[in-house]
Structure 1
Amino acid sequence: MKKVLILGAGGQIAQFAEAELADKTDLTLFLRHPEALKAPVGHVITGDVFDHDQLVAAMTGQDIIYSNLGPQPMAKMAQAVIEAAEQAGVQRLIWVATVGIYREEPADHIADAEAVYGSTDDPTSYFGDERVGADLIDGSSLTATIIRPNTLTNSNDIEPVIVDGRHDTVSGQPISRRTVAHFISDLILNDDQYQNDSIAISAQ
């Protein structure tokens, strides 16, 4: 059974994924506030991603890491994850960022998005910090998939998904957290997909 470490395991998307993966994988949940878990599954570690030794210990022996960390400081967290994964000898990483970090949204949306989230060229802004984090992951030795969900909704539906590549204009619609979790769960179970790639996912 595949051993999976989930970082930021208390997040909404992560918990949807945990429910799907509970009987299919050997899960380790790493988070600062275990009381956030509605239905803990697997092995729970109360930890801080910036505690290098603790993170290395959690990663050691895992087959795949799914990072649900965020929202900030993503660049600092990315560096911590890379260093720990390399030391622990874990190669496969799924990293969740956000749509817009490559200015890949439709042209009429970019200005509005950057008015809220800042420029991707400003590492102190939300978009800029997310972009630096993604670039660090992309440039690391890890076999990574960077997933950039479209605007998130709370729909309980699992929706058909559109996948756009790194250089594509995002073509779909806002996507439910449950759909993102389902996509990630499927990728964890079939992790030969989208290796060393950055993909945007949206609802059709």
Structure 2
Amino acid sequence: MTKQVLILGATGKIAGHAIATLLAKTTDQLLLFTRHPQNLSIADESRETVIKGDTLKTDELNAAVAQADVVYANLRNPAIAQQARNIVAAMDQAGIKQLVWISSIGIYDEVPGKFGDWNNEMLGGGQEDSYLGTYRKAADEISASDLDYTIIRPAWLTDKDEVDYETTKRGEKFKGTEVSRKSIGNLVAEVIANPAKYALQDLGVNKPNSDGDKPAWY
């Protein structure tokens, strides 16, 4: 079944991989929502529609969400908790259930050992207004909603041309230190294609056998 997939933050690198995978493997129509449409490269004008908008402007967001069957949010902003609230409200108003949400490693203090200590030091673990603190607030908004959400918490991201990942569930210790953006983009497309399988899932994602005190490339 062809879906209308709204991609919020469509100029992001992970979003680019998700878009490529969706174009290659589905017949879905893609609504590319961004504040910076000049930064988008369109591969298929018959299936990609660019929408200039800001998730912090509820009228623009609501109008875009009303056109969608699925929402995929690939956002990075100090106001991400407010963005989450706006998205939940817009989806409730439109009667749309499936949300794919990109979050961050470490928001639940789930990363063990020296790597966990390093990750907290780098991202501000335990600090309410830090990167991790704001992403935790946003994830809490999503998980408290009545949406069929899937939260994805990637390890430290690489631009390697590979699809190689494993997942852990919320409450389990995180594995590994890194994962490719291409892997996350492919997982996003998989989640969109199989909503029932991934509904109400909160997943850590890493490349297998990438354990260490910090990412090997850092």
TM-score (norm 1): 0.94
Letter in 1 for 2:6: L
CA contact (8 A) 1:175 1:202 kept: yes
d(CA) in 1 for partners of 2:129, 2:43: 34
d(CA) in 2 for partners of 1:113, 1:172: 12
SS of residue paired to 1:169? coil
Letter in 2 for 1:31: T
CA contact (8 A) 1:93 1:145 kept: yes
CA contact (8 A) 1:137 1:144 kept: yes
Q: Where in structure 2 are there 5+ consecutive unaligned residues?
A: 209-218
CA contact (8 A) 1:57 1:88 kept: no
Aligned to 1:72, which of 59, 78, 83? 78
d(CA) in 1 for partners of 2:160, 2:144: 34
Q: Cα RMSD between the aligned structures? A: 1.4
Partner of 2:189: 185
Which deviates further from its counterpart, 110-119 or 141-150?
A: 110-119
Partner of 2:145: 140
The answer to whether 1:55 aligns with 2:61 is yes
SS of residue paired to 1:146? strand
**What are the superposed Cα offsets for residues 9-54 of structure 1, whole Å, 9 maximum, x if unpaired?**
0001101111111252011010000111123541110001111111
**Alpha-carbon distance, 1:173 to partner:** 4.0
Point out 4+ residue stretches in structure 1 off by more than 4 angstroms: none
1:27-106 to structure 2, matched below 5 A, reads 27-39=30-42, 41=44, 42-106=48-112
Letter in 2 for 1:63: D
Letter in 1 for 2:163: I
Letter in 2 for 1:155: K
Partner of 1:167: 171
**What are the superposed Cα offsets for residues 82-125 of structure 1, whole Å, 9 maximum, x if unpaired?**
111111211110000011101111222222222221124x3311
The answer to whether 1:109 aligns with 2:115 is yes
d(CA) in 2 for partners of 1:191, 1:36: 29
Partner of 1:6: 7
How many residues matched? 202
Q: Where in structure 1 are there 5+ consecutive unaligned residues?
A: none
Which deviates further from its counterpart, 146-155 or 193-202?
A: 193-202
CA contact (8 A) 2:18 2:186 kept: yes
CA contact (8 A) 1:15 1:37 kept: no
d(CA) in 2 for partners of 1:183, 1:106: 24
CA contact (8 A) 2:73 2:101 kept: yes
The answer to whether 1:176 aligns with 2:180 is yes
**What are the superposed Cα offsets for residues 121-150 of structure 1, whole Å, 9 maximum, x if unpaired?**
x33110000001001100012110100011
d(CA) in 1 for partners of 2:175, 2:182: 20
Q: Percent identity?
A: 34
